[in-house]
Amino acid sequence: MERTRAWGAITALFTLAACGGQATESPAPPPGVSVSLNQWRSDEAAHELEVSVRNDGDAPVRFLDVQLVTGSFATLPPTRVDSTLGRTPRTDLRIPYGEARCDPATIPPVRPAVVVANVQAGEGPAHRVEFPVRHPDPLLAGLVKAECGAYLLRLAADVTFGDTWTRAGRTLRGVLLVTRKRGAEPVTIDELGGTTHYDMRPLSGRSRPVAVLEAGTPRLEIPVEVTPARCDWHAFAEAKKAYLFPIYGRVGAGERRYLIATPPAPVQRTFLSYAEDVCGVGG
């Protein structure tokens, strides 16, 4: 037993010597500093979120870079933020997050997450820290449900915008294309959602369902009309989510889910030109 203890002590000494006489620092956060995750509406289109830092300590803490690490999303490289935070109830550090890791059969449960950061507390050296994130985190759980729900829906069928859009009075008309990708079950389009800038309605006036891609049918066209949801110029100048249209649907008798359909750039330009003309805000 004494020989084992002695060997352990010698091993520890060699380890310290190999590290220049300094023990490896703990990844624990500085005292009084914690993080939570949030997301503003403007973050959604850019696939970003906010690492909200709370500092109840007396020493300022400098965040050099920040990274979200979780099994639910692909890990991206650390984001350089270089922000020094004194005592604060909440300061947001915006970072991107990776693509959701989805299952082709079901929506997976959200997995534990940590925020990894290189920080400098007071006058001390910068070092790597792992901040715990509460589990299950409601924001991450919601993002997994939304992104993996869209993934499952798109495995069966995709929804895209047609290329041709024409004016009809004060509306713009065209079609949505529902294209089967795999399987033979019916795909029901329950509802067409609008965006911050545009409303979209089926010309049929139907809702829940709007239309059904019948079993074995490869493709379906849904005639729709688009109108401006708002007409102030400030809205068009801040059009981060103007073209992210939620489309709600289900495969067979499955759960209702939604995907985001985005018109291609030429169609977006058509929408904008039409809205500027109707609203009288162009020029």
Rounded Cα distance between 64 and 56, Å, is 19
Dmax over CA atoms of the chain, in Å, equals 93
Return the domain boundaries, the chain. 26-136, 151-279
If you average pLDDT over each of 161-165, 227-231, 276-280, which comes out highest? 161-165
| pLDDT at residue number 244 | 94
- pLDDT exceeds cutoff 60 at 12: no
Specify whether domain 26-136 bears CATH 2.60.40: yes
- The predicted-structure confidence for 198-239, as pLDDT tens digits, reads as follows 999 999 999 999 999 999 899 999 999 999 998 877 666 666
- pLDDT exceeds cutoff 70 at 72: yes
Instruction: At 32, give phi and psi (nearest 5°).
Output: 85, 0
CATH for 151-279, among 3.30.70, 2.20.28, 3.40.50, 2.60.40?
2.60.40
Do 151-279 and 26-136 have the same topology in CATH? yes
Position 14 confidence tier, pLDDT thresholds 50, 70, 90: very low
| pLDDT at residue number 257 | 96
- What integer best gives the mean pLDDT of the chain? 89
Position 281 confidence tier, pLDDT thresholds 50, 70, 90: confident
| pLDDT at residue number 68 | 98
Strand partners, 201: 225
| pLDDT at residue number 230 | 87
Residues 6 or more apart whose Cβ sits within 8 Å of residue 118: 63, 64, 65, 78, 126, 127, 128, 129
Position 282 confidence tier, pLDDT thresholds 50, 70, 90: low
Average pLDDT rounded to a whole number, residues 236-251:
86
